[in-house]
């Protein structure tokens, strides 16, 4: 089962490169405690899931790269090509309209519809090269502006055209101190749209990853490259294939004793079905032992509530609303987003 990755904007393309580089490096690293046969099966599974081959045998990432200007895409393509180990295939780049600015509404209402056919055709070409499509992995920022609006638009299109395939969005939560003055508007609009069109949102907070770099890795001058490499390691370990003793890959489920306490879960979930473990003796990316936890929990209540609150304070004073209404996003769209996300906060608070 193959996964097609859609890398959106500067954030999505830079992280996407690190993810594929980590996956490729892992598939060619030491086998750990598993046998040679199991390691070969592991490598084959990783390759089928994330890469395809050209005639010359060079692995090509199953990915489509999209951005509003060529600089980041060209840098990403060059970095992959310079490695001499793998490269990208399909990509798209559409120059942004002069004077449109970094605008969510422009990305969703103008840029997306204008380039919908070209982008979806590139995605279709990549899908057709899969023997069996498992789903889509969309990497994007939620706060960045045009790219976030375009990402919401493309995810909606994937829902319409590939309704039977999984759509997972990996989203980067903005720094609390702020990167873009309207990041809270962009975030609520993106989240409310993805809530309707995505099957799962895999969230990473910039602030949390920054702390990992500073406190656990002891990096003094933290760069976006450092942050992206941490994100890639976490994502790679989540996507790591598992295997049975016979060598056929599948998800192995074993609820662990320490996680069988019913108090850990909501009342309508049995512990045996609420928690699953996927295991493999194959080392991940040269680490003999590693673990990754993906949870659907109350962890995001506070940051989500904060973003909704900050966006509402701006909206109540009509700050910067004109930047959105001039491209077709009306005040009612904001109100719909506030209502939906407040319902999400309330639902998770009552779990």
- Confidence at 284, pLDDT banded by 50, 70, 90: confident
Say if residue 17's pLDDT is above 70: yes
Contact 55, 82 (CB under 8 A): no
Question: Span 142-147, mean pLDDT?
Answer: 82
Which residue(s) pair with 67 in the sheet? 93
Question: Span 195-214, mean pLDDT?
Answer: 91
Q: Is 250 exposed, middle or buried (0-12, 13-18, 19+ CB in 10 A)?
A: exposed
Of 17, 115, 122, 112, residue with least CA distance to 73: 17
Question: Span 45-70, mean pLDDT?
Answer: 87
Of 109, 123, 117, 181, residue with least CA distance to 152: 109
Say if residue 100's pLDDT is above 70: no
Contact 145, 101 (CB under 8 A): yes
Contact 206, 173 (CB under 8 A): yes
Q: From CA 275, how far away is CA 319, in angstroms rounded?
A: 44
CB count in 10 Å sphere of residue 338? 16
| pLDDT for the residue numbered 99 | 59
Say if residue 95's pLDDT is above 70: no
HEC string for 134-194 = EEEEEEEECCCCHHHHHHHHHHHHHHHHCCCCEEEEEEEECCCCCCCCCHHHHHHHHHHHH
DSSP 85: S
Residue 245 in 3-state DSSP? coil
Of 102, 94, 142, 83, residue with least CA distance to 119: 94
CA of residue 231 relative to chain centroid, distance:
10
State phi, psi for 253 to the nearest 5 degrees: -110, 130
Lowest mean pLDDT across 83-97, 115-129, 164-178: 83-97
- Confidence at 346, pLDDT banded by 50, 70, 90: very high
- Confidence at 55, pLDDT banded by 50, 70, 90: low
Q: Give 195 or 264, the one with higher predicted confidence.
A: 195
Mean pLDDT, the chain, integer? 86
203 sits in which H/E element:
strand 200-205
Say if residue 246's pLDDT is above 60: no
Question: Span 120-129, mean pLDDT?
Answer: 94
Quote the Cα angle for 85-87-92, to 5°.
170
Q: Dihedral (C-alpha) 341, 308, 317, 334: value to the nearest 10 degrees?
A: -30
Say if residue 253's pLDDT is above 50: no
| pLDDT for the residue numbered 176 | 79
- Confidence at 252, pLDDT banded by 50, 70, 90: very low
| pLDDT for the residue numbered 267 | 81
Question: Span 184-209, mean pLDDT?
Answer: 93
Buried b (16+ CB within 10 A) or exposed e, 126-136: bbeebeebebb
Q: How many residues does the chain have?
A: 351
| pLDDT for the residue numbered 249 | 43
Lowest mean pLDDT across 27-31, 234-238, 253-257: 253-257
| pLDDT for the residue numbered 265 | 84
- Confidence at 108, pLDDT banded by 50, 70, 90: very high
209 sits in which H/E element:
helix 206-211
Q: Is 74 exposed, middle or buried (0-12, 13-18, 19+ CB in 10 A)?
A: middle
DSSP 93: E
* Residues 6+ positions from 148 with CB-CB distance below 8 Å: 9, 104, 107, 140, 141, 142, 186, 187, 189, 190
Lowest mean pLDDT across 41-50, 90-99, 273-282: 90-99
Of 301, 3, 306, residue with least CA distance to 132: 3
């Amino acid at each position: 089962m193959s996964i097609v990755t859609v890398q959106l904007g500067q954030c999505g393309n830079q992280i996407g490169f690190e993810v594929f580089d980590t996956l490729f490096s892992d598939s060619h690293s030491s086998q750990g405690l598993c046998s040679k046969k199991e390691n070969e099966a592991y490598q084959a599974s990783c390759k089928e899931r994330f890469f395809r081959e050209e005639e010359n045998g060079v692995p090509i990432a199953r990915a489509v790269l999209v951005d509003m200007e060529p600089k980041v895409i060209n840098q990403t393509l060059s970095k992959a090509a310079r490695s001499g180990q793998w490269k990208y295939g399909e990509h798209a780049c559409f120059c942004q309209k002069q004077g449109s600015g970094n605008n969510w509404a422009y990305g969703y209402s103008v840029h997306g519809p204008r380039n919908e056919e070209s982008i979806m055709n590139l995605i279709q070409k990549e899908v057709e090269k899969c023997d069996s499509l498992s789903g889509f992995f969309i990497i994007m920022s939620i706060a960045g502006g045009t790219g976030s609006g375009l990402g919401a638009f493309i995810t909606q299109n994937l829902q319409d055209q590939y309704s039977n395939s999984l759509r997972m969005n990996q989203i980067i939560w903005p720094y609390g101190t702020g990167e873009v003055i309207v990041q809270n508007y962009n975030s609520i609009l993106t989240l409310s749209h993805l809530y309707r069109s995505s099957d799962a949102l895999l969230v990473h907070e910039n602030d949390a990853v920054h702390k990992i770099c500073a406190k656990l890795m002891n990096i003094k001058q933290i760069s976006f490259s450092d942050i992206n490499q941490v994100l890639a390691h976490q994502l790679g370990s989540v996507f790591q294939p598992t295997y049975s003793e016979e060598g056929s890959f599948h998800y192995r489920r074993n609820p662990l004793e320490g996680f069988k306490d019913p108090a850990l879960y909501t009342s309508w979930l049995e512990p045996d079905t609420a928690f699953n473990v996927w295991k493999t003796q194959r080392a991940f990316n040269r680490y003999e032992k590693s673990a990754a936890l993906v949870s659907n929990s109350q962890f995001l209540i506070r940051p989500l509530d904060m973003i909704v609150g900050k966006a509402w304070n701006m909206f109540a004073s009509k700050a910067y609303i004109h930047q959105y209404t001039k491209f077709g996003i009306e005040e009612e769209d904001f109100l719909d987003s506030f209502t939906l996300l407040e319902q999400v906060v309330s639902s998770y608070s009552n779990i």
